[in-house]
Amino acid sequence: RDTATGKGLTLSQLSDGTRAQLLLAARIGYVQDVERGVTVPLFFDESLTAADPARFAAVGNAVLDLIAADGRQVFYLTCDPADIAAWQQLLAARAQAPAPVSDLAAVRNIAAAAPLERLRIVAPPPVPAPAPGEDPAAYAVRLGDVPPLDPRAPAAAAHLFHLLRDDLPLLQRLLANDVVRMGQVDALATPLLAAGVLAPAQRGELRARVQALAAFSEAWRIGRGRPVPPGALTNESGASSTKLPEIEDLLASPAIAGDAARLVAALERREVPHLRQDTKAEIADWLVGEGYLDRRPVLAADAVRERVLQAAAADLRAGRLTLAALDGLLAAWWLAAGE
């Protein structure tokens, strides 16, 4: 579930790392359910290669706890020597013996991978501290890896910069602890609070800001359909196979640039000749059904602000948010959304 809104999320709405972690847990749970008293070995095929260090450690320690609980055999297959080093580091941190490693290249008498003793784990560069009075946008540039705000994505998935641009010291402390999104704040709340990285009031304020961003995003999306990606239009959209290439070319043109509303208007202007009126209507209906076209009028900034204020009313009354902070965030979110 979305930690900000409580709404259920599909697998496709989860980040790659969260989705992989969830599916891995589900598969292990399934194995345990069907074993019927016989403990079977588990094979992980590069399951953590794309994980960040914090997620690798969390999943790896859970697997090691599983081994400790029932003596289960676990095989981890990888072509990345860094994975081997990461596993050995986890075992060393638990004062356990290193895991045995079989190099298939050596077994097959072909070119071997780099020996473990030559591996060097490079620590990520430290998160820079903000300068006094530094402009938030300039600090984001110095951070270097702040993704743009996407009002179509779940609010809890937003980078914390978009929630804490007015509290850069807190942002820096969280990023220095590999905490980038609100879901991680909630998952790691206990150690973050214990270490003094985050105060209880700050956690409550962060939750309030995520709720406000969710309300802003929901209001902003009214009247704004999703961009139509190349190749999305098919015969199921109502376009005939003979006209589909012309419509796709029009959709990709600089004047349309994937905008469904502009495409429908261009079709009405007969920019694709000899297209039947009922076909145009069928294409428009398909675009609505797929979420590419929203026929509702776009809300003005005042109307969006009113909706956000309604959603944040309880937090404003409780002091978890101030009106000045909320208006500052709204202005930044509008700019980030390209308005």
pLDDT digits (tens, 9 = 90+) for 254-281: 998 888 889 999 989 999 888 888 888 8
Q: What is the pLDDT of residue 212?
A: 96
Is residue 93 scored above 60 in pLDDT? yes
Q: At 43, phi and psi to the nearest 5?
A: -115, 125
CA proximity to 216, closest of 327, 104, 103, 307? 307
Is residue 148 scored above 80 in pLDDT? yes
Q: What is the pLDDT of residue 116?
A: 57
CA 293, chain centre distance (Å)? 24
| Type of residue at 227 | P
d(CA 112, CA 105): 5
Report field, pTM of the whole predicted structure over 0.85: no
Number of neighbouring beta carbons within 10 Å of residue 310:
11
Share of the chain above pLDDT 90, in %: 32
In the beta sheet, which residues pair with residue 75? 43
Q: At 319, phi and psi to the nearest 5?
A: 85, 10
Exposure on the CB side of residue 337, measured as CA atoms within 13 A: 19
Q: At 28, phi and psi to the nearest 5?
A: -65, -40
| CA Rg value for the chain | 25
Q: At 74, phi and psi to the nearest 5?
A: -130, 130
Structure confidence by residue, pLDDT tens digits, 297-338: 999 999 999 999 999 999 999 999 999 999 999 999 999 888
Q: What is the pLDDT of residue 1?
A: 57
Q: At 336, phi and psi to the nearest 5?
A: -65, -30
Is residue 63 scored above 70 in pLDDT? yes
Extract the tokens encoding 181.
Answer: 């999104």
d(CA 264, CA 20): 38
Which among 60-74, 126-140, 187-201 has the top mean pLDDT?
126-140
Is residue 145 scored above 80 in pLDDT? yes
Sign of the torsion formed by the C-alpha atoms of 89, 90, 95 and 99:
negative
Q: What is the pLDDT of residue 13?
A: 66
Question: Predicted confidence band at 121 (pLDDT cuts at 50, 70, 90)?
Answer: low
Question: Predicted confidence band at 119 (pLDDT cuts at 50, 70, 90)?
Answer: low
d(CA 81, CA 56): 14
Exposure on the CB side of residue 156, measured as CA atoms within 13 A: 20
Q: What is the pLDDT of residue 112?
A: 54
Q: What is the pLDDT of residue 7?
A: 72
Share of the chain above pLDDT 70, in %: 88
Is residue 9 scored above 90 in pLDDT? no
Report the mean per-residue pLDDT for the chain.
85
Q: What is the pLDDT of residue 310?
A: 96
Least confident of 51-60, 144-153, 247-256, 297-306: 51-60
Question: Predicted confidence band at 211 (pLDDT cuts at 50, 70, 90)?
Answer: very high
The contacts of residue 115 (CB under 8 Å, 6+ apart) are none
